[in-house]
A and B are shown apart, each in its own frame.
Chain A
Amino acid sequence: MVYTSIDSTGMLQDDGIVPPHTAPSRQAWMRLLSRAPVQMLETHVAQFAGTQPRWLRRPESGLVMVQGRIGGNGERFNLGEITVTRCALRPDPARVHCEHVGIAYILGRSARHAELAATADALLQDPLNRSRLPADLLTRITDWLAARHAEQREKARATRVEFFTMARESAGERTEDSP
């Protein structure tokens, strides 16, 4: 499974940014929720999570192979495995009436993050419950991710090294060993 790609600066490119002025698809919001800071979900979603979610699949952690391309355009290769936690649930009926099944796949091992993201996914699928979440929740997550991404880029840029290479004498030939 290809989860994300690495660009030339070595940054995770998957920042989950949706184009503005389009209603986010389920795929888009699941992506945003999975990358949102847990604290933000605790603030806005935890009240609907309750203590008795109806689990279809309790949070479980596993490994997913990440594939990368050097420079973003080389051959794909297996970079390594990352930990992913997933779960599926219907929200706690004591907190909110919602029969939709929410699913979350998140990076890392936070079962709580997966639970909150799945709860939000269930609510967002239901037109009646969507309005219970702050209208700008997804925008806030997008902004937070964009800010973090910019910050990381800035940090990485400061360490950038420009390599200058002399043109080889015989261009086109492979002369790896010749002096």
Chain B
Amino acid sequence: MNTAVADMPLDLSDVGAAFGDPPLASQAAFRAALDALARPGRIQRVLSDAQHPSGAAASAAALALALLDPDCTLWLAPRLAQGSAAAWLRFHTGCRIVSEVREAQFLWSDADQLPPLETLPQGSEFEPACAATCLVQVEALQTGAGWRLNGPGIEQTAHLTVLGLSAAFVAQWRANHASFPRGVDLLLCTGEYIAGLPRTTAIEV
């Protein structure tokens, strides 16, 4: 447990506002996350009026506001942690920022700083829900070409192109998918758009 971060006084000088209408905006973002995970390979739009911290994608920030609360632990990738994201999240959601990836229930990271998937909490056979959920900011998302996705929520085959993930990602994902019911779930975010990549989805290149 990292109490050092949690005990630091909050510097609010760079902290912007959260949702103007928190109930409706949170529900809308939550709905988008549900749709994204229920239909992998389809891109969802998350509209948000929150003043997200620098370096954050609007959609990822909206999901963080909707998903996190004081019971949650979050790992922030170094680039996001340097900015005001930690103060912004602590003020608006009250979540606990941890420095150890294996203590995190949620991760928020740029694609290039995403830790190897096997180092993240995978849940257990009895409690697969204890696995980490990752908000991954990628450079671009596009449907219709690229990876072939198969699995629950996909009628035949979905196609998704993701720019920004490392070359090793597909191999890591294969292992993640194979360890079902354990394994992490990803929400890929860019600008206002998100796509879900639940552990049930198989990727073929």
A: which residues have CB within 8 A of B? 54-57, 88, 99-101
Contact = CB atoms under 8 A, between A and B. Distances in A.
A75 B44 CA distance: 56
Q: Which 5 A-B pairs have the closest CB atoms?
A: A101-B12, A56-B17, A55-B17, A56-B15, A54-B17
A35 B138 CA distance: 49
B13 interface: yes
A99 B12 CA distance: 10
Interface string B1-41: 00000000000110111100000000000000000000000
B91 A56 contact: yes
Contacts of A101: 12-13, 15
A56 B12 contact: yes
A55 B12 CA distance: 12
Nearest to A54: B17
19 contacts: A54-B17, A55-B17, A56-B12, A56-B15, A56-B16, A56-B17, A56-B18, A56-B91, A56-B92, A57-B18, A57-B91, A57-B92, A88-B12, A88-B91, A99-B13, A100-B13, A101-B12, A101-B13, A101-B15
A98 B15 CA distance: 14
Contacts of A88: 12, 91
Interface in B69-91: 91
B20 to A, nearest CB: 8
A99 B13 CA distance: 8
Contacts of A54: 17
A101 B15 CA distance: 9
A111 to B, nearest CB: 15
Contacts of B16: 56
B85 to A, nearest CB: 15
B52 to A, nearest CB: 13
A56 B12 CA distance: 10
A95 B12 CA distance: 21
A54 to B, nearest CB: 7
Most chain B CB inside 10 Å of its own CB: which residue of A54, A55, A99, A101: A101
B129 to A, nearest CB: 29
A128 B91 CA distance: 26
A98 to B, nearest CB: 12
A100 to B, nearest CB: 8
Contacts of B91: 56-57, 88
Most chain A CB inside 10 Å of its own CB: which residue of B12, B13, B92: B12
A88 B91 CA distance: 10
B44 to A, nearest CB: 27
B64 to A, nearest CB: 16
Contacts of B92: 56-57
A101 B18 CA distance: 14
A179 to B, nearest CB: 56
A64 to B, nearest CB: 16
Contacts of B15: 56, 101
